[in-house]
């Protein structure tokens, strides 16, 4: 699990903390994610996520800044973590799916994770991301279902982010109050996946991170 958390941190660093930087860790096999919000932490309502910057080549140790994620609390199925890569604090809640299905069944894939991250230096709060565990089909529409609503998700590589940033706050509030969230995607090979994440403990994890991530 430690290596998995390090990989999550690597993805967070690649997606926002240090947008466009590659080679974060040996375990990071997927392509670097784009910054799902601009450096100001905002995006135009209804707009797709911006294109990723071209990655630079840097040693993993230099990129991660020697940061090690610290577990500050386990709340139900969600772990609350903090890290400070290159002096920029990152806080995130992390969970694995309670159930995963593929169609056709039993197709191999890497572990999937859901995480909700806060990056104070970028004024980003409670950004929802999914590491789906396989390369998504380019141009495919993935969805996240919670609280009776369905949200379209922007896809790149093996990552998902909400397509309409203006809906993210409402989605997070629904996640705080709901029992589970269902994420659907299609792999580059056409395999359909359905991942269900229990939301037990998420609200408490986010509250704890809200306290620890203040600046």
- Residue 143 lies inside a defined structural domain of this protein: yes
- DSSP secondary structure letters along 58-109: --HHHHHTT---EEEEEETTEEEEEE-GGG--EEEEEE--SEEEEESTT---
Q: What is the CATH number for 88?
A: 2.60.40.1880
106 vs 177, more confident: 177
- Residue 32 lies inside a defined structural domain of this protein: no
Q: pLDDT tier at 192 (50, 70, 90 boundaries)?
A: very high
Which residue, among 196, 5, 183, has the nearest Cα to 100 in the 3D structure?
196
pLDDT surpasses 60 at 211: yes
- Residue 12 lies inside a defined structural domain of this protein: no
CB neighbourhood size of 123 (10 A):
13
pLDDT surpasses 50 at 96: yes
How many domains does the chain fold into? 1
Alpha-carbon dihedral angle through residues 80, 179, 33, 14, given to the nearest 10 degrees? -10
48 backbone dihedrals φ, ψ, rounded to 5°: -80, 165
pLDDT at 134: 93
- Rounded to two decimals, the pTM is 0.72
**Cα 181–Cα 9–Cα 13 angle in degrees, nearest 5:** 110
- Residue 150 lies inside a defined structural domain of this protein: yes
201 backbone dihedrals φ, ψ, rounded to 5°: 95, -10
- Residue 111 lies inside a defined structural domain of this protein: yes
Q: Which domain, by its residues, includes 159?
A: 67-212
Which residue, among 127, 21, 28, has the nearest Cα to 65 in the 3D structure?
21
CA distance 96 to 112: 6
- Residue 164 lies inside a defined structural domain of this protein: yes
Strand order in the sheet with 142-146: 70-75, 78-83, 90-95, 113-119, 124-131, 159-162, 149-156, 142-146, 180-186, 192-198, 99-103
- Residue 198 lies inside a defined structural domain of this protein: yes
pLDDT surpasses 90 at 9: no
pLDDT surpasses 80 at 84: yes
Question: Picking from 16-20, 108-112, 132-136, 179-183, which range would have the lowest pLDDT averaged per residue?
Answer: 16-20
Enter the tokens of residue 212: 């620890």
Which residue, among 97, 96, 99, 95, has the nearest Cα to 79 in the 3D structure?
95
């Amino acid at each position: 699990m430690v290596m998995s958390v390090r990989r999550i941190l690597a993805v967070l660093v690649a997606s926002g903390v240090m947008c466009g930087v590659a080679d974060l860790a040996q375990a990071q096999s997927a392509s670097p994610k784009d910054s799902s919000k601009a450096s100001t932490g905002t995006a135009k309502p209804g707009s797709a996520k911006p294109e990723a910057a071209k990655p630079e080549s840097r040693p993993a140790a230099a990129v991660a800044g020697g940061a090690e994620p610290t577990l500050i609390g386990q709340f139900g199925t969600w772990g609350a973590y903090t890290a400070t890569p290159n002096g920029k604090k990152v806080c995130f809640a992390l969970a694995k799916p309670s159930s995963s299905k593929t169609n056709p069944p039993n197709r191999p894939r890497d572990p999937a994770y859901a995480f909700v991250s806060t990056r104070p230096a970028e004024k980003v709060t409670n950004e929802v991301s999914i590491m789906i565990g396989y390369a998504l089909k380019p141009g495919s529409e993935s969805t996240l279902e919670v609280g009776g609503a369905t949200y379209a998700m922007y896809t790149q590589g093996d990552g998902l982010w909400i397509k309409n940033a203006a809906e993210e706050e409402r989605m997070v509030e629904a996640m705080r109050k709901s029992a589970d969230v269902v994420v659907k995607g299609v792999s580059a090979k056409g395999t359909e996946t359905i991942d269900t994440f229990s939301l037990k403990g998420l609200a408490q994890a986010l509250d704890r991170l809200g306290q620890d991530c203040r600046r």
